[in-house]
Amino acid sequence: MMQLHILGCHSASPSPTAHPTAQVLTIRNHQFLIDCGEGTQVRLRLNKIKFTRIKHIFISHLHGDHFYGLIGFISTQCLLQRETELHIYGPKAIKEIILLQLKLANTYTSYPLYFHELSSDEPEVIFEDEQVIVSTIPLVHRVYTNGFLFQEKLGERKLNIEVAQQYPIDPVYYNSIKQGKDIKLDDGRVIDNKKLTFPPDKPLAYAFCSDTAFQPEMATQIAKVDLLYHESTFLEEHEDLCEVTKHSTAKQAGIIAQKANAGRLILGHYSSRYKKLERFQQEAREVFENVELAISGKVFEVG
C-alpha cells in the first residue's frame, strides 16, 4: 500500500487555515518528506508523524512556501538527539543556504547531514534501493524546479502455500520460490515456479508536480501513475496569470492527468484569492473524472 499525507497544500503566505506545501509519502517502508514549507514540523506533530522515520527530504525549488520550514526541521533533530543520517535533495544552492543558517546560529548537527544538489534539465534518478526508485520531473517555473516521480520496484511473487505443500518441498526453499526460481525435487522432477506462486502486486507510482506552467509533454514520463499531485494555483478565469507566474490552472492539471492516463488526480497549491475550493475540482473534472482536492491533514491511500 502507498499512503500520501497532506501536511500543507496552499501557495504563498501561510495562514491559520492555509498551510504551505509539504507532504509525507509512505511507500515500501519509507517515509519521504516532499517539500517543507513554513510550519511543517508543527504539522508533522499534529498529524502524529514521527520525525525519526524521515530520512530523505525532497525539495522542489527554492521559493519560500516550499522550503522555509527546512532549517527548523533540521535544527529540531539536534534537540531530539537524532543520530540517523538525513538526506536532502534539492536545487543547487540549498546546501549553501542551510549551512549558512546553521553557521550563523552556531548550530551543529548531531547526525550525518547529506545534500544532493540538482541542476539537470533532464529527468534523472536521484534515489534508488531494492524497493523504490525516485526520479526528477523537470518543471517550468520562475526558478529551477523539479517534480518527483516515486516508483515501487516489482516485488516478489507470492507463494501458493496450498500447492507448495502438495510437493515434498522443504520450507527452506520457499524464499527462493518467491524470488521466481523453479524447484527440482529429489526424484528429478522440476516444478515450474508459476505453479507454486501468484504474480507479485502491481508496482505503485506517485508523481508530485508543483510548481509549474502547463507542460503537456510531462505526461509521457508520468504515464499511468496511480496517483498524481499537480498544482492548480488558478482557475480558468485567471489563466492569463499563468504566463507571468509560471503556474497552472485546475483544468490544465486535468489535461495532464488525462494525457498521462493517471489513476487519480489530486489538486493543490491554491491561490488565496479563491474561497471555494470545490470550483477547482469542478473545473478539472471537465476533462478528467477522478479528481480530489488536497486538504491539510487529508490522507490518500492506494493499493
Instruction: Write the DSSP assignment of 115-182 as a string of letters.
Output: EEEE--SS--EEEE-SSEEEEEEE--SSS--EEEEEEEPP-PPEE-HHHHTTS---GGGHHHHHTT--
Pair (165, 49) in one structural domain? no
Give the Cα-Cα-Cα angle 28, 32, 33 (nearest 5 degrees): 160
Is 14:59 a contact under the CB 8 Å cutoff? no
Pair (184, 263) in one structural domain? no
Which set of grid coordinates corresponds to residue 231? 498544482
- Tens-of-pLDDT digits for all 303 residues of the chain? 999 999 999 998 888 889 999 999 999 999 999 999 999 999 999 999 999 999 999 999 999 999 999 999 999 999 999 999 999 999 999 999 999 999 999 988 999 999 999 999 999 999 999 999 999 999 999 999 999 999 999 988 999 999 889 989 989 989 998 999 999 888 888 999 999 899 999 999 999 999 999 999 999 999 999 999 999 999 999 999 999 999 999 999 999 999 999 999 999 999 999 999 999 999 999 999 999 999 999 999 998
Residue ending a domain, among 178, 198, 218, is 198
Picking from 78, 76, 67, the residue whose alpha carbon sits closest to that of residue 38 is 67
Pair (149, 277) in one structural domain? yes
Residue 220 DSSP one-character state: H
| pLDDT at residue 60, as a whole number | 98
Rounded-to-integer distance, Cα 195 and Cα 63, Å: 54
Residue listed under C-alpha cell 550525518: 112
- Catalytic residue numbers read 65
Helix/strand number for the chain, H first, E second: 11, 18
Pair (10, 134) in one structural domain? yes
Residue ending a domain, among 198, 229, 257, is 198
Helix (H) or strand (E) segment spanning residue 30: strand 30-36
Rounded-to-integer distance, Cα 213 and Cα 67, Å: 20
Residue listed under C-alpha cell 527530504: 57
Pair (188, 172) in one structural domain? yes
Pair (185, 298) in one structural domain? no
* pTM, full prediction: 0.94
Half-sphere exposure of 34 (CA within 13 A, CB side): 29
Rounded-to-integer distance, Cα 37 and Cα 20, Å: 5
Pair (212, 116) in one structural domain? yes
Which set of grid coordinates corresponds to residue 232? 492548480
Pair (105, 184) in one structural domain? no
Overall domain count for the chain: 2
| pLDDT at residue 186, as a whole number | 86
Pair (163, 143) in one structural domain? no
For residue 229, which amino acid is it? Y
Rounded-to-integer distance, Cα 86 and Cα 111, Å: 8
Range of the domain at 174: 158-198
Percentages of the chain per state (helix, strand, coil), in multiples of 5: 25, 30, 45
Which CATH number goes with the domain that contains 44? 3.60.15.10
Pair (137, 282) in one structural domain? yes
Rounded-to-integer distance, Cα 115 and Cα 49, Å: 23
Pair (227, 113) in one structural domain? yes
Pair (89, 129) in one structural domain? yes
Residue ending a domain, among 140, 175, 198, is 198
Instruction: Write the DSSP assignment of 34-102 as a string of letters.
Output: EEE-TTHHHHHHHTT--GGGEEEEE---SSHHHHTTHHHHHHHHHHTT--S-EEEEEETTHHHHHHHHH
